[in-house]
Structure 1
């Protein structure tokens, strides 16, 4: 099926076995939720989490929120996870600890087989790969082009830093995030993440500064674990009114310049040429996509 890139600025993790969090997730303002079956769920609660996710995904989807599920690796219960959660309500599967293209292809093949079995339109369920091991960095381009289902990639900062023997701080995570972002751009998929630890939700000013860096890196969205982080992601990863106004002005002046046979022109004290025009077009495309997302669905 043809796939339109989703607008997911904020994707909030919810441990699938904690009912009080799951039942309120649609009220948190995030663009999407990730029902987590992996790290936040103790081994003794995995079966319970699968059962909750199976029911909750439909309820959350009915409330108009995009639903993703993070599964375990296939070696630690991932197949059981897929059998429990594949349904028409599921938008994407977050695949943890991806260190090779084959890891993505195996999950994609399983979904290919399971979608018709569970009444899901062919190709509906996308994938997001979490890069959590330093050994995966040389494989990023191969991973990014591994499957048409792959919507994007994100660096898993905590596990990645353990594998690399570094601290999860912006100074050490900037480079790896940049590598992920570049690989995503080369492959035409979505770059998610920010150069910092996902676990520190108490310092919102510090989080904001980190998300600003993420946007400068080209990230379009990020995972989060606390409702307070959602508003920051949504604000920072949305073009500001000033950016939209400038972009609109650039394109209006472009029409005049082209009519006069000029490929470059001055606007508000800046020289405008092809790269600036392309950036303006990208800003307006994202602005329109976010605005469209905010509009309520209309029944016909």
Structure 2
């Protein structure tokens, strides 16, 4: 099936120490996939979806895959259409479709494409589950950006090719499914390897830093905060989340502290002319890190 084409490619035009600026012919495209928190919500539950869309989550992932029973797939697509049309100004709406090699994925993608074609002001992207080169749509067939969810051994093997696909704008890790396929624990050495690969490949292909796999705990604030802090320190750009209670911990972990912001301002103010700031050496990597901190604040 040839889908209507409106975005032939999504191109990284500027890289600044891990930050990528995106251009396309769609208004507001930069906000589609950039964000710290990405909250999953069933697409066939309008009550829960409305709450998710009204939340402080930067991205809301309306789920047509795991959260929807096979018997509800068709009705979920219609509810999805209604939800999106009723929230035209909500930035960061993502639709997790079923895999394109499943019985439902092609129709899911066609539904999203038709929404984009009929409502050009709506800012929308898709998340492709178990992404590999075996199930990515041909370049140019999808009119929406793709967040590639890596949760299989094949996807990890194909990671660089996936990242090079012109419609893929961000990677995300599905550690739970990946650990089951690999027969390992989560966390474990194989999962940590996968985490590192997503961070490295995202930087190599100038993608926005990847989304970490969700924390399974949404009751213990200490556990949620520790998971978010680890993701931020390890180079992720945000985290998937399964409950609104996780959003605050994620934002807190990824947002620079007041002391970091003030330090960054001092470094940028003196620029390359300074030998040291606050008694510590300032070289180009330090200046770039300071600029990245301030860019993060501006983006938020």
Q: Report TM bin, short chain.
A: 0.7 to 0.9
Shift of residue 90, structure 1, vs aligned partner: 4.5
Which residue pairs with 2:108 in the alignment? Answer: 81
1:235 aligns to 2:234 (yes or no): no
Bigger radius of gyration: 1
CA distance in 1, matches of 2:123, 2:136: 17
Q: TM-score, normalised by structure 1?
A: 0.82
* 5+ long unaligned stretches in structure 1: 113-124, 258-263, 291-300
Structure with higher RCO (Cα < 8 A, 6+ apart): 2
Higher helix share: 1
Cα RMSD for the two superposed structures: 1.9
Which residue pairs with 1:13 in the alignment? Answer: 40
CA distance in 2, matches of 1:13, 1:67: 10
Which residue pairs with 2:148 in the alignment? Answer: 129
Shift of residue 99, structure 1, vs aligned partner: 2.0
Task: State how many pairs are aligned.
Answer: 266
CA distance in 1, matches of 2:261, 2:131: 36
Q: TM-score, normalised by structure 2?
A: 0.82
1:66 aligns to 2:92 (yes or no): yes
1:43 aligns to 2:61 (yes or no): no
CA offsets 1:6-59 (integer angstroms, 9 cap, x no match): 331111111011121012222221112111000111111111111110110122
CA distance in 2, matches of 1:84, 1:59: 16
User: Contact 1:177 / 1:193 at 8 angstroms: preserved in 2?
Assistant: no
SS in 1 for 2:165: coil
Distance 1:129 1:173, change over 3 A: same
Matches within 5 A, 1:38-187: 38-62=65-89, 64-76=90-102, 77-86=104-113, 87=115, 88=120, 89-100=122-133, 103-106=135-138, 108-112=139-143, 125-147=144-166, 149-169=167-187, 173-187=191-205
User: Contact 1:128 / 1:152 at 8 angstroms: preserved in 2?
Assistant: yes
Shift of residue 150, structure 1, vs aligned partner: 1.4
* 5+ long unaligned stretches in structure 2: 1-6, 8-22
